[in-house]
């Protein structure tokens, strides 16, 4: 049987449980995922030459990492040629592209420093999301940015935040779609702090100042990402979950939940419904924490599937902004990206193929035996046949065939980067 025939057989099987696979494939095609640029170069960026700081780490030294904007863009093109659908790119401020020998520090960044990215996105019909970069910079050497007790440091980063809002608005205007601008700061303390209150008070004031500039709230969706700990900030993070959730509610901005940023037995899949009850929109960084916030490549694993189910069955595909956040330097970086993107899409497909109304009815009727049995049986439905067909009709390789393309690219391009 060929891919189409397999799909047709799967379509009948899903039809019997009330799932319209043709409609599902249409929906899936319309879901855009924000692909983080920083998988391509281990979160290095182009605006400085120092090490990655801020309590995050990319481990591994697989050859072929992108060293220039051109290389990074070429790698992203390769990824998009292997991922079905149309997506967004997610940039960090540190990926500014300076032309004609000019340079601007983070507090002085302007839209023109991202002109080339806009060109790139326009040519490909992609949107852009953005992030101020509060790390990997000498002004962040103390480990503190927007919560710093040093006014010079704090003001520098406030100016950076404002500059990034202006750049985000430029992206939205140029590309005709909103730009999600996510604020994450690494600030915290390694050991038991003497004062937990003042750093948070300063962070609050800094955010107030950043958000005080005039900007179009339809165009720029400011998000705030919380975190429970980082390397070197094990005892206290300023931007804790409670801080960020409260701040977002107070200012009407979005909460961003990264599923590597919670205590190990907490899951973001369980948080989504609560957030959706109170917020119009919520943003995600989908990642894979292995024992810590390790940012491994997103797999088609239980938590990714559960997150996707929560988005789909709460009818929230247009209310949850799905972004990816991982950086693995130990394997082919293009393959890492493709794997994560395709897995997020598989998780969404899996969720869309679930007859959730019937399952919810079983829950309400107290039919827990049947609910469990059905949920288990659904796992063996011919999901793969639907996925392969989705790849085929969207003109990308099916199954693992895409890896051959990446391998060829590795030989012809990546391994030549010495
Ligand atoms: C760090 C946060 C943050 C970064 C990126 C690079 O723990 O998850 O989102 O990973 O901004
Ligand atoms: Zn994140």
Q: What is the pLDDT of residues 196-214, one digit of tens each?
A: 999 999 999 999 999 999 9
**pLDDT per residue as tens digits for the range 370-415:** 999 999 999 999 999 999 999 999 999 999 999 999 999 999 999 9
Q: Whose CA is nearest to atom 3 of ligand 1?
A: 184
Return the closest-CA partner of residue 175 out of 124, 113, 110: 124
Question: Hunting for tokens 């929906």 — which residue is that?
Answer: 27
Residue 269 confidence (pLDDT) above 90: yes
pLDDT at residue 101, as a whole number: 86
Instruction: Round the average pLDDT of the chain to a whole number and report it.
Output: 98
| Stated pTM of the model | 0.98
**pLDDT per residue as tens digits for the range 31-51:** 999 999 999 999 999 999 999
Q: Which atom of ligand 1 is nearest to the CA of 227?
A: 7
Q: Whose CA is nearest to atom 7 of ligand 1?
A: 56
Q: Whose CA is nearest to atom 10 of ligand 1?
A: 325
**pLDDT per residue as tens digits for the range 306-323:** 999 999 999 999 999 999
* C-alpha of residue 35 to centroid of ligand 1, in Å: 13
Q: Which of 129, 169, 187, 225 is catalytic?
A: 225
Whether residue 258 lies in the annotated active site = yes
User: Residue 316 and residue 275: Cα distance in Å, rounded?
Assistant: 11
* C-alpha of residue 331 to centroid of ligand 2, in Å: 20
* C-alpha of residue 344 to centroid of ligand 2, in Å: 16
Whether residue 38 lies in the annotated active site = no
pLDDT at residue 100, as a whole number: 87
Which ligand is located closest to the Cα atom of residue 91? 1
Q: Which atom of ligand 1 is nearest to the CA of 38?
A: 6
Whether residue 103 lies in the annotated active site = no
Q: What is the mean pLDDT of residues 263-287?
A: 97
pLDDT at residue 418, as a whole number: 84
**pLDDT per residue as tens digits for the range 351-369:** 999 999 999 999 999 999 9
Q: Which of 261, 305, 309, 346 is catalytic?
A: 261
Domains and CATH numbers, the chain: 31-339 (3.20.20.150)
Q: What is the mean pLDDT of residues 332-353?
A: 98
Tokens of 349: 């497909």
What are the pocket residues of ligand 1 if the criterion is a CB atom closer than 6 Å to any ligand atom? 38, 43, 56, 131, 184, 225, 227, 258, 285, 293, 325
User: Residue 323 and residue 89: Cα distance in Å, rounded?
Assistant: 9
């Amino acid at each position: 049987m060929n891919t189409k025939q397999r799909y047709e057989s799967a379509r009948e099987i899903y039809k019997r449980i009330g799932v319209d696979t043709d409609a599902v494939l249409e929906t899936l095609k319309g879901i855009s995922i924000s692909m983080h640029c920083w998988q391509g170069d281990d979160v290095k960026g182009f605006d400085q030459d120092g090490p990655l700081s801020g309590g995050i780490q990319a481990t591994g030294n697989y050859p072929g990492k992108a060293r220039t904007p051109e290389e990074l863009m070429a790698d992203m093109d390769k990824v998009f040629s292997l991922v079905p659908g149309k997506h967004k790119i997610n940039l960090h401020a540190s990926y500014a592209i300076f032309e004609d020998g000019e340079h601007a520090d983070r507090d002085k960044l302007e839209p023109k420093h991202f002109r080339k990215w806009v060109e790139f996105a326009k040519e490909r019909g992609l949107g852009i999301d953005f992030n101020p970069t509060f790390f990997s910079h000498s002004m962040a050497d103390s480990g503190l940015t927007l919560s710093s007790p040093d006014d010079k440091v704090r003001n520098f980063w406030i100016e950076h935040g404002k500059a990034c809002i202006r750049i985000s608005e430029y992206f939205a205007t140029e590309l005709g779609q909103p730009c999600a601008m996510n604020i994450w700061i690494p600030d915290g303390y390694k050991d038991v702090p003497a004062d937990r209150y003042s750093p948070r008070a300063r962070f609050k004031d800094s955010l107030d100042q950043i958000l005080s500039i005039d900007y179009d709230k339809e165009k720029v969706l400011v998000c705030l990402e919380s975190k429970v700990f980082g390397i070197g900030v094990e005892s206290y993070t300023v931007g804790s979950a409670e801080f960020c959730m409260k701040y977002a509610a107070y200012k009407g901005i979005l909460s961003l939940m990264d599923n590597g940023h919670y205590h190990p037995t907490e899951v973001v899949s369980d948080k989504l419904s609560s957030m959706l009850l109170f917020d119009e929109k919520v943003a995600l960084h989908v990642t894979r924490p292995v024992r810590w916030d390790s940012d491994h490549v997103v797999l088609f694993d239980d938590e990714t599937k559960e997150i996707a189910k929560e988005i789909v069955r709460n009818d929230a595909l247009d209310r949850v902004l799905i972004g990816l956040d991982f950086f693995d330097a130990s394997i082919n970086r293009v393959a890492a990206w493709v794997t994560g993107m395709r897995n997020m899409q598989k998780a969404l497909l899996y969720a869309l193929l679930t007859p959730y109304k019937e399952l919810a009815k079983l829950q309400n009727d107290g039919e827990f035996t049947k609910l469990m049995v059905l949920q288990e049986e659904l796992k063996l439905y011919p999901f793969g046949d639907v996925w392969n067909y989705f790849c085929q009709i969207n003109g990308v390789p099916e199954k693992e065939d895409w890896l051959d393309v990446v391998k060829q690219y590795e030989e012809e391009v990546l391994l030549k980067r010495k």
